[in-house]
A and B are shown apart, each in its own frame.
Chain A
Amino acid sequence: MATSSYFSHNTSPAERTLLNSLIVESIQIMGMDVNYLPRSQNNIDSIFEDAERNSFTTSYTIEIHLGDDTIEGFGGEGDLISRFGVEVRDTVQLVMAQSRFTDVITAADATLTKPREGDLVYLPFSSQLYEITFVEDQIPFFQLGRNFTYQLECALFQYSDEELATGVAAIDSVETTYSYSIDLTMSAGGSGTFTTGTTIYQGTSATDSSARGEVVSWNSGTRVLRVMNIQGDFTTGVAITDGTATWTLSSFDDLTLPTDKFAQNIEVETAADSGIVDFTESNPFGEF
């Protein structure tokens, strides 16, 4: 038996518009603004179906509401210590109006027709960067015959030297905080001030250089330049410049990982160098 033609709960455009407006308004009243960061997958590996280096260079501000699973706090396994250090396995459930996604994000980038797994969401209130692991677009289930929200299942981002250049300082600082970086100590007598975000190099130019990197910070008092996105091998006694400031590299130790609080590369090396390992013994198959 077909449904009754005298009753129709699922086809009224006016009711759908009203419901959508109520959803949008309730999120705008009770929700919060977050940053939506679409992922750019660079150098896609056609065998392993992965991107060698991902980048996030655009940020869209959009309002969300915390989902049912996150009303009393973040989900997931929380903070734990594993053999790789402290992990924070927080998860969060975010609810976003479909129409607002279209209005804000699709309008700016027509390729983004809906939230995508792998894109990031930055929560300003907790200063956390979440990765969308799954987009549920059927909850609530076809009210008035349509779905009006996206429910984003998100997990705290597992950072692996991805490029973050959104122009939002709080987001971009994740890259400078967690990327592999080294500290370069300069000799006295240099000139100028290195600027965060600029490219420094040893050589005739940034494109014709033996080594280069991106400035994370510059301490003129200690003459320590921290760089990330490193290419090539730096050489002591050779000038480093960004085209304006020029200082001569005095010393550095690439085993010291200043942005990694778990690493012990330098501690292990220092202990071994103090006499535990005899590096004078040669091995045709290795350095030891």
Chain B
Amino acid sequence: MLGKTFYNQSIRKILVAFGTIFNNINIEREKADGTIETIKIPLAYAPRARFVQRLNQTFDPTETEVQQTWPRMSYEWTDISYDSTRKLNTMQRMSNVYITLNLAGIPTGSFITGEKVTGATSSALGFVVDQPTNTTIALMDTTGTFTDGETITGEYSGETAVLDASTSTTTNANRISYRYERVPYNLSLQLAVAAKTTEDGLKVIEQILPFFTPEFTVTIRDVVKHDMPVLLSSITQDDTWEGDFTERRFIIWSLDFEVKSYLYGPSKNSNIITKTITQIYANNDLNVTDFTMDTGGSGTFRVGEIVYQGTEHLLASSTATVTSWNSSSRVLQVTGIKNTFDLTEKVKGSESGAEWILGSTSTLFESPTSTALGTAAARIVQEPDPTTADADDKWNVTTTITENP
């Protein structure tokens, strides 16, 4: 049922954005001579291939001179869950005008959805919507015009590709790219701070906590740019200072965060809608009719009451609801007529007790007798002005309303 291949790297981007919050924290220590030494706290995304880290860190056998260097920080992603409180209408589409860049050949890697692509010669730029084929890239929010044969570079992926020498760009004037509405997910992340002394740990923690109230918002460029709140949900400190003298002491702070973000489905494209037709089908209940009464009646009809013909309300041959009563002109305006009111017969108010003889009727608004689709009461047609406008043009709307006679 699924099966369309796509990968927006949304979670990867979230992890990078999260790391950026904490990658430039320094602490200061006073040395014996009173001068201040600054130390930047190393930060890393913790999970990794063991062999890679082994080779990175201890490939040289002399580099095991110490157990480890502290203080340091790491973070990891622990959980992901759907956030029903931020649910969006899943039938809603996010649409963009896009162009298609035609490549001269198949690039070695892939551009990343949402990343900025820049032309080396033209300096034109745009943001990747999709890679429909191996040799095409769809871009939105473009600025400038790409040049035939120039090299384009993805800012994040570092991927490069050469555009076709003669037809580098397809404008897709009559099409749009769209995705169904993004899906809200919460990611749980944990930041761990390891310190050798209590003071070192506090110096780090106190530079973090005041910024979370309890959220801290980062603007992230994913498939679309959005504000991503990062909520600090809990803080714990584990200090293993008790125990056997031979046991090591570890001071580790664990900060749990909840990141409110979104995941995105695959992109699709479709023709631009250039004309809308709206047909209105009236309901007989909405008909408005003026009853003009003969002279000589009695009582005053009340707005909202039921009027009827017949011996009594429950046995009425026809009914209607009063919308207004003009005693001078003797015009009773009614709606929601059930069955036919006969002329020269009394019209009675069910609540007011008013009784007047019906002289004539006049229908102010009457829907067609048939409710078939072809016989709408009114038709509203909207078209762009000019009608040749593309999706990225500025245009007015011409609205034409036609009523069914």
Chain A CB within 8 A of B40 CB = yes
Residues of B within 8 A of A53 (CB): 29-32, 37
Chain A CB within 8 A of B7 CB = no
One of A11-19, A31-39, A105-113, A150-158 at the interface: A150-158
Contact B155 A275, beta carbon cutoff 8 Å: yes
Residues of B within 8 A of A155 (CB): 67, 246, 248
What is the bound-complex CA distance between A89 and B71, given in angstroms?
17
Contact B42 A255, beta carbon cutoff 8 Å: no
Contact with A along B65-99 (1 / 0, CB 8 A): 11111111010100000000000000000000000
Contact B198 A50, beta carbon cutoff 8 Å: yes
Chain B CB within 8 A of A144 CB = no
Are A48 and B248 also in contact (CB < 8 A) when A127-B62, A288-B218 are? no
B394 CB, nearest partner CB in chain A, Å: 26
Contact B44 A160, beta carbon cutoff 8 Å: no
Contact B65 A174, beta carbon cutoff 8 Å: yes
Residues of A within 8 A of B116 (CB): 274-275
Contact A158 B196, beta carbon cutoff 8 Å: yes
Chain B CB within 8 A of A68 CB = no
Chain A CB within 8 A of B58 CB = yes
Contact B64 A128, beta carbon cutoff 8 Å: yes
Chain B CB within 8 A of A9 CB = no
Are A257 and B31 also in contact (CB < 8 A) when A127-B65, A159-B68 are? no
Residues of A within 8 A of B20 (CB): 268-269, 272, 277, 288
Residues of A within 8 A of B47 (CB): 83
Chain B CB within 8 A of A263 CB = yes
What is the bound-complex CA distance between A180 and B42, given in angstroms?
9
Contact A286 B30, beta carbon cutoff 8 Å: no
Chain A CB within 8 A of B360 CB = no
Contact B192 A83, beta carbon cutoff 8 Å: yes
Chain B CB within 8 A of A87 CB = yes
Contact B46 A84, beta carbon cutoff 8 Å: yes
- Kindly name the residue among A84, A87, A134, A257 whose own CB sees the greatest number of chain B CB atoms within 10 A: A84
Chain A CB within 8 A of B56 CB = yes
Q: Which residue of chain A lies nearest to B213 when distances are taken between CB atoms in the complex?
A: A285
A122 CB, nearest partner CB in chain B, Å: 9
Are A48 and B31 also in contact (CB < 8 A) when A157-B67, A174-B66 are? no
B379 CB, nearest partner CB in chain A, Å: 45
Contact B221 A276, beta carbon cutoff 8 Å: yes
Contact B67 A264, beta carbon cutoff 8 Å: no
Q: Which residue of chain B lies nearest to A81 when distances are taken between CB atoms in the complex?
A: B50
What is the bound-complex CA distance between A113 and B191, given in angstroms?
43
Contact with A along B15-36 (1 / 0, CB 8 A): 0110111011000011110011
Q: How large is the interface on A (under 10, 10 to 19, 20 to 34, 35 or more residues)?
A: 35 or more
Contacting residues of chain B (104-135) with chain A, CB-CB under 8 angstroms: 114-116
What is the bound-complex CA distance between A288 and B24, given in angstroms?
13
Of A128, A274, A276, which is within 8 A of B65 by CB? A128
B345 CB, nearest partner CB in chain A, Å: 74
B52 CB, nearest partner CB in chain A, Å: 10
Q: Which residue of chain B lies nearest to A153 when distances are taken between CB atoms in the complex?
A: B246
What is the bound-complex CA distance between A52 and B216, given in angstroms?
31
Chain B CB within 8 A of A104 CB = no
Q: Which residue of chain A lies nearest to B193 when distances are taken between CB atoms in the complex?
A: A84
What is the bound-complex CA distance between A228 and B236, given in angstroms?
32
Chain A CB within 8 A of B13 CB = yes
Residues of A within 8 A of B155 (CB): 274-275
What is the bound-complex CA distance between A88 and B69, given in angstroms?
11
Of A129, A177, A255, A286, which is within 8 A of B63 by CB? A177
Residues of B within 8 A of A50 (CB): 197-199
Of A84, A133, A229, A255, which is within 8 A of B74 by CB? A84
Contact A84 B220, beta carbon cutoff 8 Å: no
Of B53, B66, B245, which is within 8 A of A159 by CB? B66
Of B56, B67, B225, B244, which is within 8 A of A262 by CB? B56
Of B40, B69, B217, which is within 8 A of A255 by CB? B40
B148 CB, nearest partner CB in chain A, Å: 25
Residues of A within 8 A of B217 (CB): 283, 288
Q: Which residue of chain B lies nearest to A155 when distances are taken between CB atoms in the complex?
A: B248
A168 CB, nearest partner CB in chain B, Å: 13
Residues of A within 8 A of B213 (CB): 285
Contact A277 B218, beta carbon cutoff 8 Å: yes
What is the bound-complex CA distance between A254 and B42, given in angstroms?
11
Chain B CB within 8 A of A72 CB = no
Chain A CB within 8 A of B395 CB = no
Are A260 and B115 also in contact (CB < 8 A) when A158-B248, A231-B36, A274-B156 are? no
Contact A260 B246, beta carbon cutoff 8 Å: no
Contacting residues of chain B (219-244) with chain A, CB-CB under 8 angstroms: 219-221, 225, 227, 244
Of A86, A128, A153, A230, which is within 8 A of B38 by CB? A230
Are A276 and B36 also in contact (CB < 8 A) when A153-B246, A269-B23 are? no
Chain B residues near A (Cβ < 8 Å): 13, 16-17, 19-21, 23-24, 29-32, 35-40, 42-47, 50, 53-54, 56-58, 61-72, 74, 76, 114-116, 155-156, 192, 194, 196-200, 211, 213, 216-221, 225, 227, 244-248
| 10 A–B contacts from the bound complex (CB under 8 Å) | A42-B32, A48-B198, A84-B192, A161-B37, A263-B42, A264-B43, A264-B44, A265-B23, A274-B116, A288-B217
By Cβ-Cβ distance, the 6 closest A-B pairs, closest first, are A263-B42, A134-B245, A42-B32, A281-B219, A268-B19, A83-B46
- Starting from the known contacts A232-B38, A264-B43, 7 additional A-B residue pairs (CB-CB under 8 Å) come to A84-B70, A157-B65, A254-B40, A263-B43, A265-B40, A276-B13, A276-B221
